[in-house]
Structure 1
Amino acid sequence: MPLPHADRPIASAPGHWVLARAGKRVLRPGGAALSAAMLSHAGLAGADVVELAPGLGRTAAEIIKDHPASYTAIDRDPDAARRVAAVVGDLGTVRQGEAADTGLDDDSADVVVGEAMLTMQGDKGKAAIVAEAARVLRPGGRYAIHELGVTPDDIDEEYYTQLRRDLARSIHVNARPMTAAAWKELMENAGLVVDWVDTAPMALLKVGRNIRDEGVGGFLRIARNVAADKALRRRVQEMSRTFKRYEKDMVSIALVAHKPAA
């Protein structure tokens, strides 16, 4: 089954799908541990769960393990949608659609999950997706996100702009990570109440993180794939240099917020 953007040259493909081509399966900035912590605070068991842009379906598999009442995924990419459908089988439903316009009913979900997708949106796109999540949540429902952050909250604006530009050039996506304060404000502007926040190092390409997330065999598979493909190696090295340059400024951040009763 083809990966999303498999038809694009490695030199121009989005960074997360380049890493997927290398064999990486955990593509979230905070790794599997931060995803697990987020899900543990989301209250999945017996809930109607919606996941936005589920990617390879790694988090979908973890959600299904918690026995939700229902699982619905929304992904704009047909290849990603097919992959997630294969992961969840008859335990969930996968629809091709937009995160900002899911077509789901008002007040129809107990939990909405989204990882590493708001970061890729501009301010208007972020706000539209969060507003859509708030719309489909029932009162008391939770919105759980896992994204890329920057620190500190009072980061120098000029330096932050340079960080954003360098990151966008490296991963070939117009990524816009935000401070913890800005992520909280984004939720609150949609009428949500933030209940839990946690951060982790942005160690997506670190050896230790990859061994923990992918296992020794998975790490060795990735290393072999990167070593054998010059274009792939060049892209991974480029991303690694950017992540290293800004490693003190970038973090992974997860939040869970709830929709208050009317």
Structure 2
Amino acid sequence: MNAQAPIPCAGRRAEDAPGHWLLARLGKRVLRPGGLGLTRALLAHAQLRGADVVELAPGLGRTAVEILAAAPASYTGVEKDPDAAVQAEIAVGPRARIVVADAAKTGLPDACADAVVGEAILTMHTDAAKTAMIAEAARLLRPGGRYAIHELGLRPDGLDDETKTALRRQLARAIKVNARPLTVAEWSALLEDAGLVVEWTDTAPMALLQLRRNLADEGVRATLRIIGNVLRDAQARRRVLGMRAVFRAHRHSLCGVALVARKPA
């Protein structure tokens, strides 16, 4: 594969690109709402050692590297975007395979996985699309298998509908994606409606654009590189500051949420 493969949406103006791909273009690699710490807690509870693992929408492959470090029996990434699939394949190397397919229609066999992992994919879709992707994950799992997700959450569970609607509209304007985050109770209900049993949940602050989180997730050198790229690109800087303002304004209502659910035997 070509190691110089473009970041998805690389040809789009900074003003128009989806927020996560804009950040990737600026050098950010950890694009999960709860950060690398929540991802690692999620993977630990997913029990990946010796497991056949399928990851839905691996993106740039950052989580795939963490999954492979857990010594699974096999790893398959399913990525719809061809450019992202190339990036993921570069990240995982010959130890794994990447399939170009939709997360709701992977084309993989029934009951082929002990664990299915998906991060920051369900949030970006409608309720109907969420349901289809969760059903596909359940189809891929063997009895007793685990479905592990890390998504954007809302809190508290009793947040009123008017506040949810206003927050989602502001998010959509800022990140250029029609994101639909849910409360922890709502995420749990979606998994349970698919016949899965939620066994573990956790949350973390939604601090994607805070300096402390970036130092922890990316390291000092990479964080400085990201800041330099933002400072050199006026359009990107306006977008990043706009996203940061929305995240900060709603910091008490937004969070990263992780859940592990088991398919009953």
TM-score past 0.5 threshold: yes
For residue 17 of structure 2, the aligned residue among 13, 17, 21 is: 13
List per-residue Cα deviations over 1:94-153 (Å, max 9, x = no partner): 010000000011111000000000000110000000000000100000000000000111
Q: Which runs of 5+ in 2 are unaligned?
A: none
Residue 221 of structure 2 is aligned to residue 234 of structure 1? no
Which amino acid is 1:162 matched to? A
Which amino acid is 2:141 matched to? L
Matched position secondary structure for 1:49: strand
Which amino acid is 1:86 matched to? I
Which amino acid is 1:36 matched to? R
For residue 92 of structure 2, the aligned residue among 88, 96, 100 is: 88
- Give the count of matched residue pairs: 261
State the alpha-carbon separation in 1 of the partners of residues 91 and 229 from structure 2. 24
Matched position secondary structure for 1:127: helix
In structure 2, the partner of 1:3 is: 7
State the alpha-carbon separation in 2 of the partners of residues 96 and 3 from structure 1. 16
In structure 2, the partner of 1:101 is: 105
List per-residue Cα deviations over 1:222-246 (Å, max 9, x = no partner): 1111011101101000101110111
Which amino acid is 2:186 matched to? A
Residue 191 of structure 2 is aligned to residue 151 of structure 1? no
Which amino acid is 2:260 matched to? V
Tell me the C-alpha RMSD between the 2 structures: 0.6
Matched position secondary structure for 2:86: helix
In structure 2, the partner of 1:169 is: 173
Which amino acid is 1:163 matched to? L
In structure 2, the partner of 1:178 is: 182
List per-residue Cα deviations over 1:195-221 (Å, max 9, x = no partner): 000000000000100011111111111
1:247 to partner: Cα distance: 0.6
State the alpha-carbon separation in 2 of the partners of residues 19 and 119 from structure 1. 17
1:21 to partner: Cα distance: 1.1
1:156 to partner: Cα distance: 1.4
Residue 76 of structure 2 is aligned to residue 72 of structure 1? yes
In structure 2, the partner of 1:135 is: 139
State the alpha-carbon separation in 2 of the partners of residues 170 and 113 from structure 1. 27
Matched position secondary structure for 2:219: helix
Which amino acid is 2:189 matched to? E
In structure 2, the partner of 1:197 is: 201
Matched position secondary structure for 1:71: strand
Which amino acid is 1:26 matched to? V
1:8 to partner: Cα distance: 1.0
In structure 1, the partner of 2:39 is: 35
